[in-house]
Each structure stands twice: as structure tokens, then as C-alpha cells.
Chain A
């Protein structure tokens, strides 16, 4: 046990309090205001569900939300499957260009999305892929893949190759070994990778903005467009729903998987 001096512990608590305050207070205010009668953040607070009712009639926001969700879920599924398969290949096999591929994984994470987005826009335009939800999905998968590969590979680094050898010595085919031994052992890494993929897609504004068309857009792009036209409390309402959804998702996942733990 490490004992903390009382004054430090007080200071520490104050610091943590500040961190939590700056992280969560704006969100809490936004959530509170989504239930306030005044559309201009005016006090005193008067409760209403008016904005949620208005939201239920706002077809473009609802459609954009569904698009965002669809794309995020599809991106998660595709990027997690492809990324996990790629990580396994990088883990198991030595092939020409392996190191090059591994080092090419990192730059896309550091390249500003504005630049990636511009590049994708030009590329998709040039190749005839065009813009729209399919283009957004393609772009999101490309963005999310490196995150999945890096997270799953990190988990594989702690996975002993002897386990695969042991399974093979017991008569398991490489398919059986993968499904019954390797994947269950690296499941926490796969789930973490999937979460990253979901977050990258669901959060994504810049690239979606470049690749969206007026009819086919995602929630962040739609919110941005709405704010430019003039702020409405419906934005508070939809944001509150998103916040609750995201937090709920994270809580559920972290309950099932303790990250970093060996078991």
C-alpha cells in the first residue's frame, strides 16, 4: 500500500474534480437545457419535453441519425473482421513487405482528417465511386482499419504461439485453432478494436462532410448544417440521446470485458 499525504490527496481530489467538471458539465448543461422551455438557455428552468416532440417530427435529423448508426455499425463489423484477419496474418506469417505494411498502418492515424477527406473526395470522384452513403462507409472503414489492427495486434503480442502449436498437436485444424483458441483469447482486443471502429465512424465529421450528398448525410454533418442555419433546442435533444446511447454502450462493453486484465 502506498500512503498519500493528506494535503496531496486533497489536491488530487480537487484536480480530478476539475477534470470531471470540464468533461461532463457542458454535457450536463446541454442535457438539462434539452428539457428547458427557453430555447436560448434562459433561466429559471422550466421543464418540458417539447423539443423531444419537435425532434420526433424532424425527419432529416432522424434520418441522419439512422444513417450514422447504420454506417457506424457496418463500419464496425467490416473493419473488425478485416482488421482482425489482418492482425492474425501479421502475427502468424512472415512475408515480403510485412514490415512496410506494419509501418504504413500508423501514418493514417496522424494525418489530419481534413487531408484524408480531401484525398478521398478526389479519389472517389476520379474513380467514379462518387459521393453518398456508400462512399462514407468506404471512407470510414479505411479510417477505422488501422485502429483495429493496432489494438488487436497489441493483444496478440501477449498471446503465446505455443497455444496454437498445442491446439495443432491435439489434432485441431488451423480453422478450429483460430475459432476455439486464438479468437477467444484475444477477444478483449477485438472488442476494444470494434469500439474504436465504432467511435471513429460515429464521431466522424470531416470526411463524412466531404462525402455526403444533400439527401445522404450523417448526424454530425446534419447537426453542423442545422447549427449554421440557426441553433434550435432540438439539437440539445438529439445530442442528449446520443450521449446517453454512447455512454450506455461503453458501460455495457466495459462490464463484459475488463480491458488489460489477463482473463
Chain B
């Protein structure tokens, strides 16, 4: 168990800069997600921490020890691979024992540690099975037991749940979190699935084009994304792009939006974001009756599409040539029909200045 420190690390494959001057630290015992689209460099970064790739520049420290030139088998890490990579020629117990045996552990110690690790992932009863006799979820647990039985300083997971179906994936997320808490190992988890990153990790690092775009607690990134990429990759966001004239944001189509009262941006090009669930839809007819049209920020538009998903409905609203998204929880309010003229309303404090 150890703190992992990545400083100014870069790696270039041919002409492609896979990882570009990345610095990030992973605190001892923390659960980190590296989140990004494919090609963002998240897996390359993980493989450099593991020791499968070596950085062109920069340093990597595990528990205070510089490891950037240490080969993978000397780094004392544990890794879970996307396809599990269980050894097909060994039983479940054999797979878990492998890491202990190559370290020279013998007999009773190995038996006890293997039994403990299998117990931890609740697979004690399947010790004698072969990997091909297991389900996907069970293989996942074996891979995890194998990775932690050697008491690694850091546990690395490369999209470990992506091969599982959705229900099983949710179960495994909970399970993974429980095991990580119990073992207390510093964990770095690579994923392209934003929901997974949000629900499982203590902190998230978002990567794009080989760079860390933003790093922080899930709520922090969700509530205060610093860029359009962070806002739209972690969760959904409506983006208002325009020019700030000193008082309001002028959109290209002439509409104007009030800024949050505490925002003090410089004049010029500016982007604001708002989460779809923060947008309220009020039918224009109802608005005219109450006469409160000027009370809060709003844009007028027309509903172009409604997507129903059980507890909520997602509406697409066209306004001034742009399409916006609003998510409305299903409550007492009736559903709005496609074609209805509406006002999109929100609280100014819910706007995010990018």
C-alpha cells in the first residue's frame, strides 16, 4: 500500500503523443478512476504505472521509490486485465497461488493466503474449477483475488467490468468497492464509463488527448467542470456559447442570458453550461397566464423530441437554431407533447462558467 506519484510523464508512440506531460498523485488507500474516451491515454498511463510501458520523460514514484525504469515484475503491483487474463492451464486456486509461488512462498503460507483471498471474493467453493468453467463475474473475482493476494503496493484495473452485462456490472462495482475498503490498497481504475467512475471512485481524473483535463472528487467535477470537455464527458450538459458584454451573455441568435451573480468573467467569448436536470420546462401558455416571464432566466423554444425512461423523461428543445436537453422527473406534472412551445427556466446559480 502506497502513494503513487506521477510527475510530468510523457510517452510518444511514433508521431502520436499518447501521454502528454501528465502529473497526478494517488493518495495512499484512495480509489481513483482515470476516465476518458478511447485514445485519451488513460490505459497507456496505467500501463506506465504498471511497468509495461516506460515514459520518455518524467518520473513515477510508488511509495516514495522511483520506479520508472523498474521492470513490471519487480514493481510489486497487482493488475486486473480487461479480459481477466486467467491462466487457462491452472485451477482457480492455482491462478491465485501463482504470484505467491513465483516469489518463492511455499506450502502452508500459500494455502492459507489463497484460501483467504478466495474467501474475500466469495469464491472459496470454486477453488478447484478451471477458468473456462466459470462465469464472467466469477472470472472477474478470481482475477481480483489473484491481483491482491500478493499484497501489492497499488492495484491497477484496466476496464475490468466492461465485459460484463449491466446488472452484473453494478453488482461488481459494489463488490469491488467493498473489497478495496477491506484491503485498503491504493486503487487506480481505468474506465470510459462515466457512471462507473462517478459511482465507484473517491476521485476522478479525466483525460483527453493524453492530458489530464481535470482531477477531483466526483461531485466536485460534476458540479464545477472547468472545461466543456469535462462538462460533457462526465454527465450531460447544455452549452451556451456567446459573447460576454459586461452584464449578460449574448448568444449568436441575439438572446441574452444572465450569469451567476458571483461570476466575474472577462469581456469577450464565453461559454456557460447547465446540467439537463437543472432545466425546467414551462409551457409558454401557462407562463403567459401567470405573467412571470421575466422573473428568472429563460429561453423560449419548442419541444422536438421526448424520450421516456421510466422515472424520468428527457426532452429535446429547439431554440434559436440550437438543441437543448432537459431531464424532468416524472411527478405530478403531465407529460409535454412534441411541438409544444415552452420556456426553459433555470436558477442562475446552476449555471457553470467554463
Contact = CB atoms under 8 A, between A and B. Distances in A.
Chains A and B belong together in one complex? yes
Nearest to B83: A162
Contact of B146 (A165, A170, A263): A170
Contact of A171 (B82, B85, B130, B150): B150
A138 interface: no
B77 interface: yes
A169 B78 contact: yes
B83 A171 contact: no
B52 A165 contact: yes
A173 B76 CA distance: 13
A262 B103 contact: no
A263 B129 CA distance: 13
Nearest to B99: A170
Nearest to A184: B89
Interface string B129-142: 01010000000000
Contacts of A263: 88, 130, 132
A27 interface: no
Contact of A181 (B77, B87, B130): B87
A166 B73 contact: no
28 contacts: A162-B82, A165-B52, A166-B87, A168-B51, A168-B71, A169-B51, A169-B72, A169-B73, A169-B79, A169-B147, A169-B156, A170-B98, A170-B150, A171-B73, A171-B76, A171-B102, A171-B103, A172-B73, A172-B98, A172-B99, A174-B73, A176-B102, A180-B98, A181-B87, A181-B89, A185-B88, A263-B88, A263-B132
Interface residues of B, number: 29
Q: Which of A163, A171, A262 has the most CB of B within 10 A?
A: A171
Contact of B50 (A169, A171, A172, A262): A169
A167 interface: yes
Interface in A178-235: 180-181, 184-185
Interface in B61-103: 71-74, 76-79, 81-83, 85-89, 98-99, 102-103
Given A172-B98, A172-B102, A262-B132, 13 more contacts: A160-B83, A165-B79, A167-B98, A168-B51, A168-B52, A169-B78, A169-B79, A170-B78, A170-B98, A173-B102, A176-B102, A262-B88, A263-B130
Q: Which of B76, B82, B88 is most buried by chain A, counting CB atoms within 10 A of its CB?
A: B88
**Top 6 A-B residue pairs of the complex, sorted by shortest distance between their CB atoms:** A170-B99, A162-B85, A166-B85, A184-B89, A169-B79, A172-B102
B85 A163 contact: yes
B158 to A, nearest CB: 9
Contacts of B83: 160, 162
A122 B81 CA distance: 54
A167 to B, nearest CB: 7
A191 to B, nearest CB: 14
A178 to B, nearest CB: 12
A145 B169 CA distance: 47
Contact of A166 (B71, B81, B150): B81
B54 to A, nearest CB: 14
B132 A169 contact: no
B85 A160 contact: yes
Contacts of A169: 50-51, 72-73, 77-79, 147, 156
A182 B102 CA distance: 15
Contact of A165 (B74, B81, B147): B81
Given A162-B81, A162-B83, A176-B102, A168 B73 contact: yes
Interface in B180-204: none
Interface string A25-41: 00000000000000000
B45 to A, nearest CB: 16
A167 B147 CA distance: 10
Query: Which one of B51, B86, B102 has the highest number of Cβ atoms from chain A below 10 Å of its Cβ?
Result: B102
Interface in B30-64: 50-52
Which of A160, A166, A169, A173 has the largest number of chain B CB atoms within 10 A? Answer: A169
B81 A173 contact: no
A168 B130 contact: no
B241 to A, nearest CB: 43
A165 B102 contact: no
A189 to B, nearest CB: 13
Contacts of A173: 73, 102
Contacts of B79: 165-166, 169
